[in-house]
């Protein structure tokens, strides 16, 4: 029996994915790797102060799995702070949610921007103004991924 896709949803891409202690050369640093789903768990539970049930639902995981993810994230961050490690945010099996997709009629270029950012005025590639929301993306914000056939994949940043 095929197992259902258990991709974890991540709604935010970090602006910076590498943090290091000042004054220690990179070559002497040990690195802690925080996966994207661990990063997202911290963002939802610690920064946005969501209940774990709610955060788990948003990430498409069980409450228990969410607990495991965030425990692992906390431990890694603690280790980085206490032992002066660099932190790299990278990897994990996840997909981006909360992105809206646009398509340019002129050149066919498609791109994604996060929800909450203003609608772009023109195509970033050809600067034509004849752009529209991509159909396949409609209503995909909250648990609405069911209709699309997009495959789970592991994204690298
Ligand atoms: Zn274009």
pLDDT tens-digit map of 55-98: 999 999 999 999 999 999 999 999 999 999 999 999 988 888 87
57, part of any domain: yes
DSSP β-bridge partners for residue 87? 19, 32
pLDDT band at 2 (very low <50, low <70, confident <90, very high): low
Give me the mean pLDDT over the 97-124 stretch. Answer: 86
What per-residue confidence (pLDDT) applies to 86?
96
3, part of any domain: no
Asked if 111 and 128 sit in the same domain, the reply is yes
Asked if 66 and 109 sit in the same domain, the reply is no
- Total structural domains in the chain? 2
Rounded Cα distance, 13 and 41, in Å: 13
Report CA(82)–ligand 1 centroid distance (Å): 49
Report CA(129)–ligand 1 centroid distance (Å): 8
What per-residue confidence (pLDDT) applies to 148?
36
Report CA(126)–ligand 1 centroid distance (Å): 4
Higher pLDDT, 63 or 101: 63
Report CA(38)–ligand 1 centroid distance (Å): 35
User: Does pTM top 0.85 for this prediction?
Assistant: no
Report CA(113)–ligand 1 centroid distance (Å): 15
106, part of any domain: yes
Report CA(119)–ligand 1 centroid distance (Å): 15
pLDDT band at 138 (very low <50, low <70, confident <90, very high): very low
pLDDT tens-digit map of 3-56: 555 789 898 888 899 999 999 998 999 999 999 999 999 999 999 999 999 999
Asked if 85 and 22 sit in the same domain, the reply is yes
What per-residue confidence (pLDDT) applies to 29?
92
Higher pLDDT, 157 or 131: 131
Report CA(78)–ligand 1 centroid distance (Å): 45
Report CA(139)–ligand 1 centroid distance (Å): 23
| Residue 150: pLDDT over 70 | no
Higher pLDDT, 79 or 100: 79
Give me the mean pLDDT over the 113-118 stretch. Answer: 77
Asked if 62 and 105 sit in the same domain, the reply is no
- Secondary structure in 3-state letters for the chain: CCCCCCCEEECCCCCCCEECCCCCCHHHCCEEEECHHHHHHHHHHHHCCCCHHHHHHHHCCCHHHHHHHHHHHHHHHHHHHHHCCEEEECCCCEEECCEEEEEECCCCCEEEEECCCCCCCCCCCCCCCCEEECHHHCCCCCCCHHHCCCCCCCCCC
């Amino acid at each position: 029996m095929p197992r259902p896709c258990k991709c974890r949803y991540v709604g935010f891409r970090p602006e910076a994915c590498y943090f290091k202690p000042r004054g220690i050369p990179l070559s002497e640093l040990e690195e802690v790797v925080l996966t994207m789903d661990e990063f997202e768990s911290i963002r939802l539970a610690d920064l946005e102060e969501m209940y774990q049930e709610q955060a788990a639902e948003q990430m498409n995981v069980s409450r228990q799995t969410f607990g495991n993810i965030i425990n692992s994230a906390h431990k890694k961050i603690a280790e980085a702070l206490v032992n002066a490690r660099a932190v790299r945010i990278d990897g994990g099996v996840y997909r981006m949610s909360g992105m809206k997709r646009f398509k340019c009629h002129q050149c066919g270029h498609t791109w994604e921007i996060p929800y909450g950012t203003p609608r772009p005025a023109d195509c970033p590639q050809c600067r034509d103004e004849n752009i529209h929301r991509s159909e396949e993306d409609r209503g995909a914000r909250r648990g609405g991924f069911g209709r699309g056939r997009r495959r789970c994949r592991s994204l690298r940043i």
